[in-house]
A and B are shown apart, each in its own frame.
Chain A
Amino acid sequence: MQIDPVKFRHLVEQHQSMVFSIALRVTGEFGVAEEVAQDAFLELHRSGERLESDDHIKFWLRRVTVHRATDALRSRSRRPEAAAEEWMDEQHTDIPGAGLDFGIVARLDELLRALPEAMRIAVVLRYQEEMLPDEIAAMLGQPVATVKSNVQRGLQLLRRKASATMKEYVRAEI
């Protein structure tokens, strides 16, 4: 049983930004993100999922999008986390009060792409989708402690990278 076409169109219009944004920030590539987002919606269309509520639809779409995005990453053998681990090795100390300069803010997505996959997903769901750790844990089927750890470590890594990038930016300005 498939979803009624009119209802499906409405669902696409309502949730396309959410689905596309998750796909984009997890995969880091515009074209791949569109492919992933379309696949997620098509899976919903094919599955004839019982749409009980808006929360249920959002939960389903977010979960499928994350899974399809990680599948896409793995199939393309893109491993941006290798670069991120190098960052972790190079910088062992927290830089207190490392705020975001607007010039650095513009590069946030680029920094995000270099995070390890699990951290990137947790950060995207936490800060883009404003989901709580227990909601993310339920969606990903992970322990809450794992999700909290991934968010915190991802945040820590982003903060360090942003600080370092800002320093470079300042030096370049001088």
Chain B
Amino acid sequence: MRKFDEVQDEFEQELGRRMRRVDPPEGFAERLLERAAAQTPLRAKVLTMPRRTVFRAWVGGAIAAALVTGVFVGEQAHLRSRDRKAEAARQQFETAMRVTDRALDPTRASLQRVGLALGD
């Protein structure tokens, strides 16, 4: 089989001469440019822009409202949790004070017997 770097024979030379580019039918470019212009999505974008804007605004508002609600609910939950912890701490403190007070009763009585008084 002949290699590509060898000299072309008469048939190939004739083939190369014969296979020239041909012009497209008349009006090809005009028809093509009309189709290209019709496919340009510029007009469609302009028409759909308001709907997209309204939709995007609605979605944006919904997201913002959800975020605000979430933050509010979270803050309330946090405050309730803090109050519950404070109440529990206060009750624990009072219980501890009562226990300590009772534990000090015998000591207080002994001191009173020798004439000393322990503060309440």
Contact = CB atoms under 8 A, between A and B. Distances in A.
A20 B24 contact: yes
B21 A128 contact: yes
B21 A21 contact: yes
A72 B49 CA distance: 36
A128 B19 contact: yes
Nearest to A19: B24
A100 interface: yes
B23 interface: yes
Interface stretch (B30-38, B77-85, B89-97, B98-106): B30-38
A105 interface: yes
Q: Could you tell me the dominant secondary structure of chain B's interface residues?
A: helix
B15 A25 contact: no
Given A5-B37, A9-B33, A42-B39, A20 B28 contact: yes
Contact of A100 (B1, B14, B28, B29): B14
B26 to A, nearest CB: 11
Contacts of B2: 152
B84 to A, nearest CB: 59
Interface in A113-163: 123-124, 127-128, 130, 132-133, 148, 151-152, 155, 158-159, 162
A38 B31 contact: yes
A13 B32 contact: no
A124 B2 CA distance: 18
A21 B20 CA distance: 8
B32 A38 contact: yes
A13 B23 CA distance: 10
A8 B12 CA distance: 35
A6 B25 CA distance: 21
Interface centre among B15, B35, B40 (most CB of A within 10 A): B15
Given A34-B24, A41-B36, A152-B1, A16 B29 contact: yes
Given A12-B32, A128-B19, A37 B24 contact: yes
A6 B111 CA distance: 110
B32 A127 contact: no
A112 B57 CA distance: 60
Interface in A5-33: 5, 8-9, 12-13, 16-21, 24-25, 30
A127 B28 CA distance: 24
A100 B33 contact: no
Given A12-B33, A20-B28, A128-B19, 11 more contacts: A9-B29, A18-B21, A20-B22, A20-B23, A24-B22, A38-B28, A105-B14, A108-B15, A124-B19, A127-B19, A152-B1
6 closest A-B pairs by CB = A20-B24, A21-B21, A128-B19, A17-B21, A100-B14, A127-B19
